Amino acid sequence: MGRPLAVGPSKGAHRASTRTLTHQLTYRNEGRPSFPRANFVKSPTIRVSSVFPVMDESRPTIADRHADAGAADAHRRRSLFFLCLAVAGVGFAMAQQMGSNANFVVEEMHLSGRQQGGLEAFRESCGIISLGLLALMAGSAEPLIGAAMLVLLGLGLGAYSIVPSYPWLVLASLVWSQGLHVWMPLPNSMTLSLAEPGRTGRRLGQVQASGAAGSGAGLAAALILHLAGVHIRWFYVVACAAALLGAGACLGVPRKIKTPGPRLVFRRRYGLYYVLCFLEGWRKQIVIAFAGFLLVKEYQTPLTIMLLLAAGTNLVGWMISPVVGRLIDRLGERKMLVFYYVSLTVCFIGYAMVRNRWVLYAVFVIDSSFFAFAMALTTYVSRIAPAREHTPTLSMGVAMNHVAAVAMPFVGGLLWELGYHWTFLTGVCTAGLSILASLFVGRHVKGDRTAPAAREGLIEPVVSDGHLAESIELPMGIDGSTRHGEGRTQREK
């Protein structure tokens, strides 16, 4: 008969089960005695890793993330407030200049149509010079650049109070115009950096509305000064003070807002944007250089009426800017630009053909207030260019704008000698070309083959080892930290 079947643990297992394990239980806390060793017989056990993860106190909790998000939003709102304050200061200063400029050059400086065209051409040449200046200041903090440029703006405007003749007027104009033209792309660029995804048009509308509000306050101050009998030259001293206050407000915007790399971007795929900027510069300069000049030179419009017209323009602009921004987000750039240029065509026909001053006053207000629609060109840049190329592309657009703005006053001044209506008929042709060009602008998001994150500048297509890849970077907060964490990943397709 064979051996009986052994039941139970094997010999080796039994030895393991009866093994004596020594544990030393010792309290390390201060003031407590250490217990002596004690031997225990331990049953067989299975070591199981804990299924409950140990809480890592170094990792942020959901509450911490909400708190950080709230702090970032508060910081964003505060930065937008200072930016709006700076834009309002510039609006105040330029309202003093623009509202009284036509009467100043006609009644105080006695300029002819050709001299007016030459003055505007010299002044607009600063837009081309700003191209090189922005290249030299590449990588600098945009708020600091803005503050320095607003100091130049204030000094140049203040010099208007003492200019004795036409050459000195040109020199003073070059100083303040240089500061203004370097400043011009910076508010839009800083707004794009501060705006939340999907709310770019709304934030741009708010910033432009701040400028319109500042302009309204500046025009009200100019009207009060005029009614009080203050000489027109003192208006420019007040404008100087407002520009310097705007420079101080720029220091409240985070200095980490800057664009790395070169500031100048000329790319073939942005060609349509450059064309639209060129046509916009030509069209805009007709209004700036000759619309108000027409009302004062040909219709002897007094300063009081000119200031009221400018106030009406800024009131309409202040009211419609946020609405236009929301419509751009909703309808897209193409529809808004087509409507804009069709309206301008009608306005230029009115300047050339209408002889009733009251109708011309209405045309002047409508034409000038519709500048708000030009923000569609800025939002167009945010859809076609990555975030790091926003400011360089906007700066190139400003340069293209001013290439036309330099040529147009010379041409307009010469045409004025033949009859002022010829100057404005060129505007009809320009607006017609702008309508054709804007028909090629892609519709809002539909049909846009760029990924949503790429449209927001978060994903930038790159080529790595011959393969198309996406470099994905989490959106950076205005304090330099990421909104949703830290780090960067790369996914190749």
CB 387 within 8 A of CB 457: yes
Q: Where are the alpha helices (DSSP H) in 439-473?
A: 452-455
Question: Which residues lie below 8 Å from residue 219, measured CB to CB, with a gap of 6+?
Answer: 95, 96, 99, 307, 310, 311, 314
pLDDT computed for residue 476 by the predictor: 33
Burial of 375 (0-12, 13-18, 19+ CB in 10 A): buried
DSSP element (H, E) containing 138: none
The predicted model scores a pTM of 0.64
pLDDT computed for residue 373 by the predictor: 86
pLDDT computed for residue 457 by the predictor: 36
Q: Around Cβ 266, how many Cβ atoms within 10 Å? A: 12
All domains in the chain, ordered by first residue: 11-41 (no CATH), 80-438 (1.20.1250.20), 458-492 (no CATH)
pLDDT computed for residue 154 by the predictor: 92
Angstrom distances, CA of residue 233 to CA of 117, 158, 164, 222, 230:
22, 9, 11, 11, 8
Asked whether the CA dihedral 346, 351, 354, 356 is positive or negative, the reply is: positive
Q: Which of 94, 132, 102 minimizes the C-alpha distance to 262?
A: 132
pLDDT computed for residue 168 by the predictor: 92
CA 337 – CA 258 distance, rounded (Å): 29
- Digit-by-digit pLDDT tens for the chain (493 residues) are 444 444 444 544 444 444 443 343 333 444 444 444 444 444 444 444 444 444 455 555 655 555 555 666 777 778 888 888 999 999 999 988 888 888 998 888 888 888 888 898 888 888 778 777 877 777 778 888 889 999 999 999 999 989 988 999 999 999 999 999 888 878 887 887 777 777 777 778 788 888 878 888 888 899 999 999 899 999 999 999 999 999 988 888 877 766 544 455 677 888 888 889 899 888 888 888 898 889 998 888 999 999 898 888 877 877 887 888 888 888 888 888 999 999 999 999 999 898 899 999 999 998 888 878 888 888 888 888 777 777 777 777 777 887 888 888 888 888 888 888 898 998 899 888 989 988 888 754 333 434 333 333 333 333 333 333 322 222 333 333 333 333 333 333 3
pLDDT computed for residue 472 by the predictor: 26
492 DSSP β-pair partners: 469
CB 421 within 8 A of CB 352: yes
CB 168 within 8 A of CB 191: no
CA 378 – CA 321 distance, rounded (Å): 14
Burial of 414 (0-12, 13-18, 19+ CB in 10 A): middle
DSSP 371: G
CA 226 – CA 312 distance, rounded (Å): 17
